[in-house]
A and B are shown apart, each in its own frame.
Chain A
């Protein structure tokens, strides 16, 4: 077996991503606001934890989830091949795998966990952190599944995206006002460190293995799907919650009116 995990290189790469941000914050705090750094011990310690955590996380992803997912995507396409002709119904396992991978990676996404906790706090506990995470995860999994279907069939990307935008615009009119910014944000939040490499591997693997598809032209678009569909599902979740609350209060009024 090979050891791909190089902790020092990974720490350096992570530091390159995180340190400019820390530098920026420190420069603004000391030079522009001319204030001392509040609790510098905490901040340095927290940043250290973020660095080590992210490095471990990415290393673990490279070591475990990434190769297994990639190998499986390949094996699943091989199972569905039937000569040169592409029959989209033969790719059932691919869709199921895409759906499940989208769901499980989103549930484990650190950014989403952080934002869901922030939303829970900011809404004074009205929005459940778990409910939000599940709604986003369902959106991502439907999005990625549709995206793999698009790669298999080779239909134009912009048609799907436009249809999605139209749905979002219609939902925006009817959804409760307070959830709208959060729903729009959830689209961007999901597609980061865990989801991007896994989804990119899936898209490129599919596009290079399905006959008649080119990886460079058809492999893109999965991330766009994964960003668009959570908006729809979070808005839908909010509408469902609103509807059930209204129905319950209407029933309450009716039962109070009867006797």
Chain B
């Protein structure tokens, strides 16, 4: 008499039951959902303890530097010491929860999906998934929203577009969608690279050459923004998920090394927006 209890990712632990009746109850869906959170919770608390220690260690340098500058260089007392200390506590707890949550929820699902798409063998669905993943994670990115708005204001101040709220919003949205599409395209290119085994340096150096050429033709006001948007696009959510896709995909395909073939998606996702945004500038201005 055996039932299985999903205990740890990738592992199932057999559970022996005394009677058919209990096993029947256990297999009922609602009970499984009741027991599973308990198993997760135990594992979670242990992982969280480790993560809290790690987060405190990671934050120590920031705290030290700011404190040193305040005391030695600026020689001013800390303003609002209480709120700063509360904020630091939040940062530590948030960092720990984030890392543990990623390990529990995001990475396993992303990798499972990538592996299943690779096994399914449908190139169309894989590329479609890759495109939506890149575009979907980018379009909702808060840092991107903020920076495109700043950029639109800069362009309006330089009188390249009409200096009104509506035209600034339209321009910012245009840039944001351009960036999202470019990240989607970059992920598709990166997945194709993993599948076909194309050389990443050739793609990247080719991309750099294109960026340099575009710099000479693109309007000057958009160059700084375009360069920055390359780094802004890849957020805390996009990076782990896209890395999981790449590493999972490379692990599934025979003859591909997860290290050399799995990484490289984010590099393309940082490069492509520069080209697309400068192209956008060329078309709009």
Q: Which residues of A contact B (CB under 8 A)?
A: 1-3, 5, 13, 16-18, 20-21, 24-25, 28-29, 32-33, 35, 37-65, 67-69, 71-72, 75-76, 79, 93, 97, 100-101, 103-105, 107-108, 110-111, 113-115, 118-119, 122-123, 127, 157-158, 161-162, 165, 168-169, 172, 177-178, 180-182, 184-185, 187-193, 196-197, 200, 216-217, 219-224, 226-227
> If the complex has contacts A60-B94, A63-B83, are A217 and B102 also in contact, measured as CB distance less than 8 A?
no
A-side contacts of B260, CB under 8 Å: 177-178, 180-181
Count, chain B residues at interface, CB 8 A: 118
CB of B147 within 8 A of chain A? yes
> If the complex has contacts A45-B104, A114-B240, are A59 and B61 also in contact, measured as CB distance less than 8 A?
no
The 5 closest A-B pairs by CB, nearest first: A46-B105, A64-B87, A53-B97, A57-B94, A49-B101
A-side contacts of B200, CB under 8 Å: 180-181, 184
Q: Is the interface of B mostly helix, strand, loop or mixed?
A: helix
Per a CB cutoff under 8 Å, which of B74, B112, B228, B266 touches A223? B228
Flag if B65 contacts A104 (CB, 8 Å): yes
A-side contacts of B212, CB under 8 Å: 158, 162, 165
Q: Mark B227-243, 1 if CB is under 8 A from A, else 0.
A: 11011111111011101
Taken together as a complex, chains A and B put the C-alpha atoms of A72 and B74 apart, in Å, by: 8
Flag if B58 contacts A47 (CB, 8 Å): no
Taken together as a complex, chains A and B put the C-alpha atoms of A115 and B44 apart, in Å, by: 20
> If the complex has contacts A20-B136, A165-B212, A185-B264, are A69 and B66 also in contact, measured as CB distance less than 8 A?
yes
Flag if A108 contacts B44 (CB, 8 Å): no
Flag if B94 contacts A188 (CB, 8 Å): no
A-side contacts of B225, CB under 8 Å: 220
Per a CB cutoff under 8 Å, which of A43, A119, A223 touches B232? A223
Q: Is the interface of A mostly helix, strand, loop or mixed?
A: helix
Taken together as a complex, chains A and B put the C-alpha atoms of A16 and B97 apart, in Å, by: 18
Q: Which residues of B contact A (CB under 8 A)?
A: 6, 9, 33, 36-37, 40-41, 44, 54-55, 58-59, 61-62, 64-66, 69-70, 73-74, 76, 78-80, 82-110, 112-113, 116-117, 120, 125, 129, 132-133, 136-137, 140-143, 146-147, 150-151, 153-154, 157-158, 200-201, 204-205, 208, 211-212, 215, 221, 223-225, 227-228, 230-237, 239-241, 243-244, 247, 257-267, 269-270
18 contacts between A and B (CB under 8 A): A13-B142, A25-B113, A38-B108, A43-B105, A46-B102, A52-B94, A53-B100, A59-B90, A68-B70, A72-B70, A72-B74, A107-B58, A108-B61, A115-B243, A172-B201, A181-B200, A181-B263, A182-B263
Taken together as a complex, chains A and B put the C-alpha atoms of A56 and B93 apart, in Å, by: 7
Which residue of B has the minimal Cβ distance to A220? B224
Taken together as a complex, chains A and B put the C-alpha atoms of A196 and B154 apart, in Å, by: 18
User: How close is B200's CB to chain A, nearest CB, in angstroms?
Assistant: 5
B-side contacts of A38, CB under 8 Å: 108-109, 112
Per a CB cutoff under 8 Å, which of B69, B87, B97, B137 touches A61? B87
User: How close is A108's CB to chain B, nearest CB, in angstroms?
Assistant: 4
Having A1-B83, A58-B94, A200-B146, one finds 19 other A-B pairs with CB under 8 Å, namely: A5-B86, A5-B87, A25-B110, A39-B6, A45-B104, A47-B105, A50-B101, A53-B101, A57-B90, A61-B87, A64-B84, A68-B84, A75-B76, A165-B211, A185-B264, A189-B266, A192-B143, A197-B143, A227-B231
Flag if A224 contacts B228 (CB, 8 Å): yes
> If the complex has contacts A42-B40, A56-B94, A161-B227, are A114 and B239 also in contact, measured as CB distance less than 8 A?
yes
Flag if B102 contacts A50 (CB, 8 Å): yes
Taken together as a complex, chains A and B put the C-alpha atoms of A216 and B152 apart, in Å, by: 10
Flag if B227 contacts A119 (CB, 8 Å): no
> If the complex has contacts A50-B97, A68-B66, A165-B208, are A217 and B224 also in contact, measured as CB distance less than 8 A?
yes
> If the complex has contacts A108-B58, A169-B208, A197-B143, are A41 and B231 also in contact, measured as CB distance less than 8 A?
no
A-side contacts of B109, CB under 8 Å: 25, 29, 37-38, 43
